[in-house]
Structure 1
């Protein structure tokens, strides 16, 4: 099966697509931006409308034969009614047209009609991160953009050292500058290599995923892969991960950041055993069942 991989290196969805192709030994058709040349199926696509555009028709028109899709950045009502409805139509059309449609969580699967998708969770990478937490540090991992809860931490934890590990998303530079000015002690690391990121993660005393609305999280998987216990904003998805991996996350309700951070005891555990080998096996089973392998 050929894998059509679209998007710049470093983008989370592109990196997932490349990881899946490597793990399954797939032939890759690589495009920095989405093209229009026809492709004979079966073809697998790791899809987000941020990279492919806000219509399903262009992708469906390119594929002559069976189609498998991995769906990311599933629409959520909190985006606003107009944007949600526009994006929802794209994702539901792709799921309906594809021979295989996969999402990363049960929470995401509930967006689609019953039985329309299969759930294959994001892999948990094993990250060799030295455990040397600096007292008083609270860390958030991943690209910075509005809606990930950084402001909530600044408001709740004015006396803590907040360290945001990652680059600012394009277009949000002024928002990030204002964010820093609004706080007593905030550090933005900017983009980090894998080795630098692992080292910086080890310096954090309290790992936090404060995202206000999320349904799958590579940054949460990274913290878990470093063997860290993580404070996570309470949500359907967070409760799903807590049930899947008991004792790895602490659920934090609205207004609960101060108490949760004060109670957190830095600890390093063995990472869960669920990486690309297990994810690839699930994908190959799904493709075989659909007659695509």
Structure 2
């Protein structure tokens, strides 16, 4: 299996692809690594791609056209990320949905990260959950701190949390970098919250340990590396009530407190920080699931 890995270092989808290849022991010419998608000829044999449309083309349709043209007759395995959601707006959703479904139909194997995402493909996609990476974080929570981790962008709940906790005395800390193109929006958050900027793995582990109330406040999400990072540090988490978080709560019970819209202040007030043994589901388990899925489709 050859791996076509496209996108900038530090992008969540790119990082997933790179870590999967590393765990599988895929090296050398079996990895085609590109910062920007090209039309360079691919090696023969099955091709695995980790896909989100904006990395592969100017529009969802163009992204799929370009990828399928480059893959040609080779068997294709696709790991789908950033699955279209109706909350994006009807026009954008339809453009992306048509493209994603067309690519899935052309693939020998289509995978997603959650059952919620599989429903988008009418449950024809295989579910391989995001790993829960073990984070060695010293538990030393600072009273009154409330944190969201990961890239900052609109819709991830930063503004909702600010509005809910304004005037309460809680100290909001957003652990991560601002996504490109959202710098002006993020500056508007700084009067109410601290934004740490980019953090190394060690720095992030320390900041996780300093945070009393871990939060995942996404308005609409169907998979979350940020949530998995909190869980990998052995933390209990407040998370927006959604089909996805209910799914993860059922999979890993006792680690997530689901929060309804408008109920963040009460949830934070009633939260008790604690640590527990992180779930045993890391990259080795994810790689094993991929091997099993490829074998079932005759892809090796």
Q: TM-score, normalised by structure 2?
A: 0.95
Partner of 1:147: 155
Q: Distance in 1 between matches of 2:122 and 2:147?
A: 37
Alignment of 1:44-59 (within 5 A): 44-53=48-57, 54-55=60-61, 56-59=64-67
Partner of 2:120: 111
Equivalent position SS for 1:264: coil
Alignment of 1:203-282 (within 5 A): 203-282=210-289
Can you list the C-alpha shifts for 1:142-183, whole angstroms capped at 9, x where unaligned?
1111111111111111221000000111111111111223x2
Can you list the C-alpha shifts for 1:3-51, whole angstroms capped at 9, x where unaligned?
0000111100000000110111222110000011232330000000121
Q: Distance in 1 between matches of 2:111 and 2:41?
A: 23
Partner of 1:288: 295
Partner of 2:38: 35
Alignment of 1:189-200 (within 5 A): 189-200=196-207
- Aligned CA-pair RMSD: 0.8
Q: 2:74 aligns with which of 65, 90, 104?
A: 65
Q: Distance in 1 between matches of 2:229 and 2:152?
A: 16
Partner of 1:25: 25
Can you list the C-alpha shifts for 1:249-275, whole angstroms capped at 9, x where unaligned?
000001110111111111011100000
| 2:19 corresponds to 1:15 | no
What count of residue pairs does the alignment treat as equivalent? 289
Equivalent position SS for 2:32: strand
Q: How much has 1:196 moved relative to structure 2? A: 0.5
When structure 1 is superposed on structure 2, of 21-30 and 186-195 the one drifting more is 21-30
Q: Distance in 1 between matches of 2:50 and 2:203?
A: 27
Q: How much has 1:281 moved relative to structure 2? A: 0.6
| 2:136 corresponds to 1:128 | yes
Partner of 1:137: 145
Equivalent position SS for 1:227: coil
Q: 2:189 aligns with which of 179, 198, 218?
A: 179
Partner of 1:100: 109
Q: Distance in 2 between matches of 1:152 and 1:248?
A: 22
Q: Distance in 2 between matches of 1:129 and 1:90?
A: 40
Q: Distance in 2 between matches of 1:141 and 1:12?
A: 13
Can you list the C-alpha shifts for 1:128-149, whole angstroms capped at 9, x where unaligned?
0110000000000011111111
When structure 1 is superposed on structure 2, of 118-127 and 29-38 the one drifting more is 29-38
Given that residues 41 and 67 in structure 1 are in contact (C-alpha distance below 8 angstroms), is that contact kept between their aligned partners in structure 2?
Answer: no
